[in-house]
Amino acid sequence: MASEALSAANSRLGVLAQHLAPLEPGDLLTQQLTSSSYSRGGYDSTFPQATTMAAFPPAVHDLLALEGLLNPEERQLRDKVRSYMESNVAPVIADYWERAEFPYPLVPGFAALGLAGGPIKGYGCPGLSILSNGMAVVEIARVDASMSTFLLVHSHLAMLTIGLLGSEEQKQELLPRMAKFELVGCWALTEPSNGSDASALTTTATKVPGGWMINGYKRWIGNGTWADVTVVWARNNQDGQVNAFIVRKGNPGLRTSKLENKIALRCVQNADMTFSQCFVPDSARLPGVASFADTNKVLAISRIMVAWQPVGLSVGVYDMCCRYVTERKQFNAQLGSFQLVQERLARMAGHIQGMWLSCWRLSKLYEEGRMSHEQASLVKAWVSARGREVMSLGRELLGGNGILAHFLVAKSFSDLEAIYTYEGTYDVNVLVAGRRITGVSAIRAASPAKGTKKGAKQQDGEGERK
């Protein structure tokens, strides 16, 4: 299956080839999968008592038969993505994560899954249901959150912005190639000075003859070091509103540098971006963006997908722990025979069922046209917090192996820390929900003179963007 997917997609590799010299991507991946360090089926000669994530554990997390809430197409997509991630990504991803490198050789097979563009219909995109997209995110994050974030930035931020807010010419030119991963996108909103307070961004777009001159700084931009297409948000000098622009790779006014020393999502290449007299033509402006409020048209879907990520991380850790406690023995007994171990597994399983159901309901509300901004914030915050607890319990169950990346739990533990913060920090998201509950906004401190009136509207920032 891996060789078929790679051969079908290698012809679409395009600009990725520069990252793979001197080996072809198929050759490099094959070499990794068959080398002595990867071919042991999860066996570590220094610790033969338990199996590593290289041989991924079976999925045993669905204790309430929740898959019965999926239709046949959704189950089929879930199974296809699960098979790819277990067979192709699990054996190699821990080493990429350790080196903080993006796994470029995996992209052709990843592209063959047909996920890019997610809910967009036409333009070579799959037009998947929100729930189908969520199932794909769960199965990718179950093995590796970096790969799920790579997809979400490319598909549910960059592509979705163009699909919802771009011109017909922009859609026709970019979306078909981005759907094949011939072009990779990023989404530049967060700034060094404005994370949660994203609506106060300071990057400017000045109107000049024939186009716009962009100046400013962006930070934490996923895929930013190598993206071909950057969707950048900047405040125009005409009416002071925030607009969106497309900046192409190679623009002399754009410089990027990789953020180093991350402990989470280490495969994601986050960038600092500097726009200095960065000229873009008038055709680069997205006509569907009139103000910062238009970001919510994109984030409504993106935040659902981000809420599914802790579900994926949690089911992966749970599956790993269930296998580990049957393999590992102490005091002449399986770990799984001890009461405290069973209590932790039951608590993890309970959280997972609740997290899955919350995200399922949120997805259904969106598909019915009834999801609110506050509902999305509530679910994203709650599943992130519960996911954190699942990671911690898994860390306890694996003992010393719980801090080794190739036993999955430590990697997922670290990765969830980033998800807890991006697409709205936990605190900002619960305050958005709290504003709906009480009618009073507590996001900004009340003015000493006037206070904050009940029901007053405020533009809330929503955390560091990917």
Give the pLDDT band of residue 466 (cuts 50, 70, 90).
Answer: low
* Percent of the chain at pLDDT exceeding 70: 87
Pair of tokens at residue 305: 């997908």
Mean pLDDT across the chain: 90
Q: Average pLDDT of 38-48?
A: 74
Cβ atoms < 10 Å from Cβ of 437: 10
* φ and ψ at residue 73, rounded to 5 degrees: -65, -40
Both tokens of 176, joined, read 């078909």
pLDDT computed for residue 30 by the predictor: 55
Record the tokens describing residue 415, joined without a space: 């990765």
Tens-place pLDDT, residues 105-157: 999 999 999 999 999 999 999 999 999 999 999 999 999 999 999 999 999 99
Per-residue model confidence (pLDDT) at position 232:
98
pLDDT computed for residue 40 by the predictor: 58
Residue whose token pair is 């950048």 = 232
Query: Do the Cβ atoms of 364 and 304 come closer than 8 Å?
Result: no
Identify the three-state secondary structure at position 76: helix
Q: Respond yes or no on whether the N-terminal peptide bond of residue 22 is cis (omega within 30° of 0).
A: yes
The answer to whether 286 and 244 are in contact (CB under 8 A) is yes
The Cβ-side half-sphere exposure at 260, using a 13 Å CA radius, reads 1
Rounded to an integer, the average pLDDT of 417-427 is 94
Angstrom distance (rounded) from CA 362 to CA 375: 7
pLDDT at position 443, please? 85
The per-residue pLDDT for 261 is 96
pLDDT at 197: 82
- Cβ proximity of 432 and 377 under 8 Å: yes
Three state DSSP letters for 257-307:
EECCCCCCCCCCCCEEEEEEEEEEEHHHECCCCCCHHHHHHHHHHHHHHHH
Check whether 451 has a pLDDT greater than 50: no
Cα–Cα–Cα angle for 177, 178, 181, rounded to 5 degrees: 95
Across the range 176-200, mean pLDDT stands at: 93
Residue type, 186: C
**Beta carbons within 10 angstroms of residue 28's beta carbon:** 17
CA dist., res. 68 & res. 75, Å (int): 9
Q: From the CB of residue 206, how many other CB atoms can be counted at a distance below 10 Å? A: 16
Q: Residue 405: pLDDT band by 50, 70, 90 thresholds?
A: very high
Give the chain's length: 466
